[in-house]
Structure 1
């Protein structure tokens, strides 16, 4: 069984080669002439400036510095009906994009039904990315 698990983990790592080596802050990306980050496979991911400016318009200065992009939308191998967003500012951004009211308690983890994925990706195609997470 251990061999099968290693094969699955290898394949998931291959599928996730589109993930960034390192995420950058929104303000840092806005300051770049050509906003981009390097991916795990060595290629580059480019951000649309209008998308970055939209995010800047919905955040204050402190949150714009704290927001790391791209926002990772985690899809689990176990819970296939939902996805997870992690990070206080990241959760706030996704709630605003979806038009959800923010509660009094600010969370750092947001679990949403998977049917929200297309709506988020349409609005934020270059500032969000899927990550496939292996859970046993």
Structure 2
């Protein structure tokens, strides 16, 4: 009989089927005629040109190669009141969208209250995605 933890792990994998097999940089997405990533289920997820333009406007050109898309918003099954973002450039984007960007802050991980998710997803619906994690 499978353990409860094994069942939960399989369920987490199932709900994360929408995640990309491999993320692309903003630079790659801008150069591509049809910016997209291939998802774990084999389908394609396309980025809106207007979002790519917005991201290119708020970042320095050298950051375009560092920003990986889609930006993954990690939602923990344990710490349910918050979500996390990893990567210095990714944190800069989220802080900018939320109006909290501080040029002196160079965090590589951001932890945000979950109620801010709708604002981020309204601004960046195709260039962000959720990932459910067990932590």
TM tier relative to shorter chain: over 0.9
Partner secondary structure for residue 17 of structure 2: helix
Q: How far apart in 2 are the matches of 1:120 and 1:101? A: 14
Residue aligning to 2:75: 75
Unaligned regions of 5+ residues in structure 1, if any? none
Alignment-derived partner of residue 111 in structure 1: 111
**Which blocks of at least 5 consecutive residues in structure 2 are unaligned?**
none
- State whether structure 2 residue 74 is matched by structure 1 residue 91: no
TM-score, normalised to structure 2's length? 0.96
Aligned to 2:45: 45
Offset at residue 104 of structure 1 (A): 2.4
Deviations 1:62-87 (A, max 9, x none): 11111000000000011000000000
Give the structure 2 partner of residue 13 of structure 1: 13
1: CA distance between counterparts of 2:110 and 2:37?
25
Superposition RMSD on alpha carbons, in Å?
1.3
- Which 4+ stretches in 1 moved above 3 angstroms? none
How many residues align structurally?
135
Gap change, CA 1:109 and 1:2, over 3 Å in 2: farther
Partner of 2:63: 63
Higher helix share: 1
